[in-house]
Chains A and B, each alone.
Chain A
Amino acid sequence: MRVFISLILCLVALQSEAQFHDWSMWRFDHGRSASTPEQLADNLHLQWQVQYSPRIPVWDDPLNQNLMQFDRLFEPIVADNKIFLGFNDQDKVIALDINSGKELWQYYTDGPVRMPLAANNGNIYFTSDDGNLYCLNADNGSLTWKLSLAPAPNKLLGNKRLISMWPARGGIVIKDDIIYTAASIFPMMGTFIYAINAETGEIVWKNEGTGSNYILQPHRSPAFADVAPQGSFAISGDRLLVAGGRSVPAAFDLKTGEQLYYHLSASGKTGGAFSCGNDEVFFNHHRERVTYMYDSQTGLPLLEDAGEYPVLDGNTIYFSGTKVEASELDVEKNLNKLWDSNVSATNDLIKAGDCLYAADSSGITAIKIVDNEPQELWTHKTEEPIERLVASNGKLIAVTGDGEILVFGDTPVSEVSLQKQPDSKIACLSLFGKRIIRKTDITSGYGVVLGTQNIRLLKKLVSKTSLSLIAFDDDPERISYLREYFDDLGVKADRLSFQNFDETASFLPKYFSSLTVITDPSYLKDNDPDLLNAIFESTRPYDGKIWVKARGKAKGSLMNTVADLDLYGAQLSKSWRHVLISRTGALEGASDWTHNYGDIANTVKSDDEIVKAPLGILWFGGNSNMDVLPRHGHGPSEQVIDGRLIIQGINSITARDVYTGRMIWQKEFENLDEDTWLVYYDETYDEENPLDTKYNQVHLPGANARGTNYIATKEYVYVIEGTNCHLLDIKTGELVKSISTGDVNTEKLGYIGVYDSLLILGNNFSKFYNPDTLEESKKQKFNNFDITASKELIIMDRFTGDELWNIKANHGFIHNAVIAGDGKLFCLDKLPQNLETKLKRRGESQPSGSRMLYLNIKTGEKLHEETSNIFGSWLGYSSEYQLLIQANRPSRDMLTGEEGKRMIVYNLKSNEILWDKPVYYSNPPIISGDKIYTSEEGFSLLTGEELYEKDLITGEDLKWNFKREYGCGYIVASEHLLTFRSASAGFVNLNASEGTASLGGFKSGCTANLIVANGVLNSPDYTRTCQCAYQNQTSLALVNMPWMTYWGNSNYKWNGTQIKQLGLNLNAPGDRTSDQSTLWLEFPNVAGESTGIPVKIDTVNYYEIRKEPISINSENTPWISASSIGGIRSLEITLSKEPTVEDAFYSVNLYFSEPEKMKKGERVFDVSIQDMKVLENFDIIGEAGSEDKELVKSFPGIKAGRTLTIDMIPRKGNTMLSGIELIRESSPLTQNQ
């Protein structure tokens, strides 16, 4: 009988288990339906719970946190009676027994696990910010296989962690045993979208060709930036929906990986990482939890505000929210309401069997659907709001926002077990650690430890500093041990993480480590110079330190090697047990950026020589735009000096680390907001509703009109607040001193500038308006001239505040025209330009007293005074040429009347006008050597003539210009670049003629915030209040990465004269110029307007393949061989449209690489140029030896006149060609038409 009963019980158990369904991925299935067929018991009882710490979401701002919610909570999945959780703070995945909560295993990764996991056939899959896709055995957590989704092992600081340059944030979706995922969130770095065989880890397809597509960004303006995969992917019918982070997803063909659509621009201000769908439609995040419904076939919106995050059960859609609402999707894709229930599901809603489970701030409610009507079954109240529900394997799993997991089952338990994680307590005695801290005095920032034998040292550094430490060891087992050891101690990975040591040091980004401790000199591999160089390069400039434990001969040897390396800025010291290498001062060739326009001379140019194209990301994330002024108010640009980036908020000044983005200090003021009010922001800024799409700040001239109100120097940040100028310690932000004018009539300080040891303050703003009409004029935001000039300038000792001299204005010293250089103060004392123009329009005489002054800046002695030709609102000074520019200050959102129509350049040596010309310009004039750059064009500083360059294709003279797309900031310069917003962030490479290039994947500010200084291109997020769906909204910094790729829109127009040199880059996204000065134009034309060079192409079975250049093995030009066209039979390039054409001899270089998985002999073809066979039975793979390896075949002496023709004849397979380069060899030979 007992056996029989046991058998019956077993059968019952088996039967019920047979009805179990795994919740094998986020929201149950590949459609993210949140609907499982599994029927839970009618009554559920809390059985166990486990308390972890609250999750800290990856992004920093309220909008980002709403649009991308993927790691704000634990997102459990369930398979085979186990719950699996990923940790974004401990870089691990764990398995819990679903019945007891007992932890079964844990697996650590090299980076945060931010995206939900997935299970399939006994395996667990997940991605990590380390760039990898992991496959673990679900039973024991052992690694089955691991695939790098990133193209290289390089690391950067991303969201405050050391992660892959291509973090894998494509949230896994699995269908038919195929995994879909992706790596990289910045298109400029290349994006990599994959379909992968779940069992073997083999790649089914890989799309790496879309990231650089030239597409319309928000504001309907193009840039090289396509979808940036971030968020959980979903599948709708035959479409893979690739979450675009902040945008509506892109769709890719599930079978081939071909991109089908991405409506970035058309989607406007809607979109987010959440998507779910059935075969016909999908729902995507809008704001809060509201979704829009889209047609999966087209990606076009069907219904706005469709409802809050829905549950999909076929065509029955249950919307969450303050009440649960059921609708039916009909064949016309209309939603027809079925019923609603007053049950609150404001936090989550799922369906299991015939029950809906709703979560809100008070707990969980079960709703049974009987005869298509909702019936409330039960409610379970909880102390903490339930944010996520999962139903699987007979359990209901609830997740709270504070990191708790609660598990409900069908039977009550006598005692609900509660497991808690230990609090972090790690006090430890370490004399070694104590000495390092005392000697280096470094207790904050990022740190590196090479060699982990000294656990006490690690504990000491964690407990006695706030350093974020990354410890490296070459023993994987020790790393595993230490990860678990410190995890058990409650030390989060953002304080101490462990990584494998790699002798190439590719794991170390530049400049990021404030303190590097090498506990075991063997890690220096016998003082390997390359390794030492890499470690030094990874050390933060401005006193980053490397502490090497060394004794005796080893110490001397290390000292000698480092000395021989002649590392710039390195200072060596030693004691009997260590060598200390300090990286002092600035980087070689670096420069600061102070004042609003780079310096007090208004050059609008950084002298930084380090930053040049190509650029890659050094760090991103980790600070918030909530500390920055609203973007459309055009607050002052950031200032960058000695490794600190100083930026202003509404009522604060913040210092950030240039090399990591870390906040160094923040100073809140009492009344700074009274100064910034109506100047840098106004009543249109609605601080309370950052998620409202109408959250905005109207455009104001801001600092374009007023100038800056703070100056950063090596010692202090000088900040105007009312009648005081505060001196903040640049290192700490502490108030050191406040300077006032001593004038009882001072109401406000206006101008501020610093020159050497002098502080120049504007005493009171000029009043150009009758006080009776002042209010009216202030409402006219672009006519508020009273903030643009000061009544008096007071020159002080900037350290003591002692006044040295002053000068009163006849009208007003225009702030944008108070500058200094070579011991002189230059200033314009006049009416604002618009008022002068108004007087002229009305036939009234200009008031007397308008003048331009050159003054001895130390004494106030008047050196020169100009009273004629006084116009404009801008002065700029070239110390190199001793030339002074008088101009207007035009830009978008400028003051009324500041159009640039005239420019005068004065020769300071003779005090005479060098040139005076009616020139049109729309940017503050940038002084760069002997050139003036304005928007899209340039002039000679010495003559005022337009700039010309050599037309790289014809060799003729060509007016220098570039095309800038939408962006309301102005252009600034550095030695090698012009930087500005052009749809996305953009730049012009001054060393090449390739037009406007994109830094695709983020939007730069409306204030000019792409500032080159201190060796990096700084881009603090100056987009506060922006709601547009740009791929990323974050601060970041970029540095020169020679191997990185970028694309430009050269905007080239051929004039028809004979071509001397040309590159056709087949299927490339845009234009580039090679080191050999060949302008490579993309063919077919996809970016910008056609060049007008006729190219005829005949093809059979035409197809295009594009990869990221980083995937190509090439010394110099992977960006040519990364894309190809297959199926070419003949290609004819017109070389001249002139009536008389002369034959010439050309060298023709053909670029190949094998982009497909081909074996030798599978693709063979002949190539003829001008009917002369140049390649016979050509086999790319046969010659190159491997896939994706560049092969260049050169053919000199090709004679051509009006056209040049290349024929390709397949012998086996199809033809394939990447690029064609023509270089004329000789003088042309005359040929009649």
Chain B
Amino acid sequence: MNDLKFAVRQLLKNPGFTAVAVLTLAIGIGASLAIFAVVDAILLRPLPLPESERLVTIYHEYAKSDMGRMGTSIPDLYDRRGKIEAFTSIGAYMSDSVVVGDAGAGRREEALRVSSDFLETVGVHPQMGQAFSEDQMTFQTHHVAILSNDYWKRQFDADPQVLGRRVRVNGFDKTIVAVLPAGFRFLSTQPQILLPLSSQVDHRGVERLHSNSDWGMIARLRDGATLAQAQAQMDALDAVIQPQFEWAKQVAEAGYRAMVVPLHADHVASIRPTLLLLQAGGCLLLLIAAVNLVNLLLVRASDRVKELGVRQSLGASRGHLLRQTLTESLMLSSAGGLAGLGLGAIGVRVLRVFGVEQLPLGLQVTLDGRGIVVAVVASMVFGAVVGLALTAFYLRSRLVDVLQAEGRGSTGSRGVQRLRHGFVAAQMALAFVLLVGAGLLSLSLKRTMEVSPGFQAERLLVGHLSLIHKNYLDGAVRQRFIERVVERVNALPGVSFAGLVSQTPVVGKGGASDSRVLSLLDQGGELITPYVYGIAGDYFRAMGIPLREGRYFDVAASSRDGRVCVVDEIFARRHWPDKGAVGQLIFDGPEVEPEEKPFTVIGVVGAVRQTDLTEPSKHGAVYFRLPEFPNGFDGLHLVARTAQSPERLGPTMVKALRDLEPEIPLNDVRAMESRIADTLVGRRSPALLARVFALTALLLAAVGTYGVLGVAVAQRRREIGLRMALGALPRQIGRQFLLLGLRLLAVGSAFGLLGAWLAGKAMQSQLFDVPPIHMATFGRTFLLLGAVALLACLLPALRASRVAPSEALRSE
């Protein structure tokens, strides 16, 4: 009889055991695999660009200011190009979305504005045509476009003569000069169209440094050059260039430095700790599953010692036993691995529902060959290790004892029992750690969601308008259009207030700028960087931002308001702590020019969270009317407070705007609450996943406890019968097993407490307003684990108390 046939028969003989074992392993492997697919795609796999390990990004750090990290500006590209020996090339880019097509029939597409050497820097050559040239990088000459392979196939039927044809972008005709190779992706974007990152030639001098710093900059390291060399050369170049800047002193005081960091690592830096945390959770779950499975196999091994002994007595060598045990364990682990692959694939889909695609490089998340190989190898290794361990377990039993033993109870030695009990306690400890981890993350999410954004997010609809269009380059035309938009939306039934804003708080990227407060000028010194907003219409009322002092902008007679601004309470408190802010004067920019007119503060409003619910701004915010907004704008967000569900109003608002101006569609129309929910994906997904892991771990721990106690009862049936025959009461017998379960719980919880404390410390950076040791969470976890463990103990204990002495003694 071959081993395979017998192994199959063994597994089919105990369908309950087989199902639990396979499912246990599948859950462990599936969970780890799904998380590994994310970690692999985001952290481990190189960027899909040639020799991507040589790509770096350059960003500007203002360590001592509220701005933190910023992009680069136009002059940086021209100052640095060809001057840093460690780089073979430097490129700049800016993500954008553009309307492609004719008026009324245009589609919004993802676009990337790139400098002339961008494609050379990322190492991508067009499939046909040529990359942009430097002389196409001005507003006068930038009427060219490069199509993605997908867009070329989709919109131009893969026309081989496409070069030289026209494509209409934001109302402008562009000449197609190249088509990209298939599958081109840059970081988390998959642009359909590339446009020149154009600028005015006279804006490329040092006087424009540190303004409009929203360009991303990348460079390719020369072969053999190191990051440290590149950083040193960058510092040296800045030491020459920066002093030429008009406000060099203030910039230096703000802690400016141009940082050179690996592109991939930088792009995923924000999500890295979360992913590692989740991978640790997945590994813990796999460990629990493995421990559970080993325990189940040990239980079964105890029952099978005699069978293996008989085989030995019939001539089976150690090799024969090893082969048979390995066949069985490998078959079981392969089945678990295969089921784990299935669960892993489902897990990846579930992760997509959890918003994994919104993470950096999240679009790349798939269960590919690497993940499959890892799962198969892991399950094989597990099967082999378990098979070897079980063979050793079988062989350590003395054949004479095994063959002479009357019942199976004789094979459950104290050592094996202790090992099984230890495994159950270990499972409980690991489950405790996962439960506490999930509890802390959930509490952190809850506290984040409880943070008020500073405005009323409910019943607020937000859409995006892009004014980069040939018909709207003139300021006066734009202003008229803005007024008409506000008027039209305000007139829609169900809209109570409507307004426009250059950036929405919390969900936008925020626009930190530098403003100077006139009354503090004499004290001098500090560079302040409040967030600045350009607004129109009844923005404050639409958002529900409360008025603290003075008044809002006059909507009805806006033209008479003149050069005025509204500040938030943080800004007001910081600069005029002892007197009212209304009537105070502020200037834009770090220096006050003699001829510059100040803005008069007419009101103080409540503070809103700027970039994230968890990070209050230190320097507050200043609101300008759009015509006077010093930063300029090309895109605007339309906000409307609605009487009904905001989603229902969306189509009406889109249609109203289309009727008004078909060339400028309203895009990305969604409720503010849904947008805020999106910003929490980095907290919500780990919290949800951790909960899933923790509950699975709890289930596995319960199965483990039940299994071990159940076996203990079965193996000690004769002893129980004897005790009862000698006068023990059923409740005394039941209590004996309950106490065993509680002892395991106590030991598991003690180690779990220690593990949870360490896990809490490791998770600290991921927690908002939650300490690593949160006694209430620890307490709740103990109660939950205790209740589940008690339930798992109860059934075996009841079974023990119902053993009939006569039957138990006769059965042996």
Real complex partners, A and B?
A: no
